[in-house]
Structure 1
Amino acid sequence: MFATAVRLLARTAAGGGGGKAGPVKVSNLGEQVQPAAESLFNILQAHGPLTAKGCWQHASQLENTALRSKRQMKLMLRWMREKRRVKITCNATGKGPTDKEFLFSLKSPKIVRNKPSISQEETTV
């Protein structure tokens, strides 16, 4: 019975396993949030859907990138996902649970179709 109570408290305690992580705080990412987001946006725009490893390979090759580490890049990708700038898709390459790739790509912009306006000539006829 004591073990059950301990497990229950471990699950519900702050920081306990299995809980949903809170939103990323931009203040934790430093003062270069905007340049880092722009560099990630440019990488994803130029090279299409990429895994986190692929994003880091392209970011490490850039000289003027604001991304200091792979950890910061992953936090930026998570923040951009929360702000709905980036989407993540799962590409299952096999049948096992470890045979998955998670690809980051830009969200496609919504296309607003304008209705053709009726000209004055058509209404007077």
Structure 2
Amino acid sequence: MFGTAIRYMAKKPKPKMKPIELKTPPEQTQTITRVIFDIVKEHGPLTIADTWDHVKEVGLRGLTSKRHMKIVLRWMRERQKLRQICNHVGPNKQFLYTTWFTKPNIKQAKTVHDSSQQKFP
């Protein structure tokens, strides 16, 4: 027990994450963020994979890879242009990106809850 306390006290705290600095020019960053924002606004809450599929359809030149898009999405979250919601589907979690103005769609959780209540009239 004494050894556990010493190990616990010896741990360093998690370092603070510094703000993301994008390395693309400001004009290109503005174009990328506008396109991603429009995609998320038009197609509703999207996962990263769905967002990447829509970006590939549009043919945006500024994004080099899916990883670059994920960094831009995180930067947009820091700037409060997008928000991330968590949708619990059974034991799994699904993280979705949405704009601040759209209401989260939680119909799946309600339908499961309502069906369980209908069993006991």
Q: Verify same fold: TM over 0.5.
A: yes
From 76, 82, 99, the counterpart of 2:78: 82
- 2:93 matches 1:100: yes
In structure 2, what is the equivalent of residue 49 of structure 1? 45
Could you tell me how far apart the structure 2 residues matched to 1:91 and 1:74 are? 19
Q: What are the residue-to-residue correspondences of 1:3-42 with 2, within 5 Å?
A: 4=7, 8=11, 11-12=12-13, 18-26=14-22, 28=23, 30-31=24-25, 32-42=28-38
- The answer to whether residue 66 in structure 2 is matched with residue 70 in structure 1 is yes
Give the structure with the higher percent helix. Answer: 2
Equivalent AA in structure 2 for residue 55 of structure 1: T
The TM-score with structure 1 as length reference comes to 0.66
**Identity value in percent:** 33
May I ask how many residue pairs the two structures share in their alignment?
Answer: 96
Name structure 1 gaps, 5 residues minimum. 13-17, 110-125
Asked if the contact 1:43/1:55 (under 8 Å) is kept, the reply is yes
For residues 12-44 of structure 1, what are the alpha-carbon distances to aligned partners after superposition, in whole Å with 9 as ceiling and x for unaligned?
5xxxxx444221112x3x122111101101111
Q: CA RMSD in A?
A: 2.4
Instruction: Answer yes or no: is the 8 Å Cα contact 2:45–2:97 preserved in 1.
Output: yes
Q: Distance in 1 between matches of 2:78 and 2:60?
A: 25
Any gaps of 5 or more consecutive residues in structure 2?
Answer: 103-121
TM-score by length of structure 2 reads 0.68
| Contact 1:40/1:59, CA 8 A, preserved across alignment | yes
Higher Rg: 1
- Contact kept, 8 Å, 2:32 with 2:60, in 1: the verdict is no
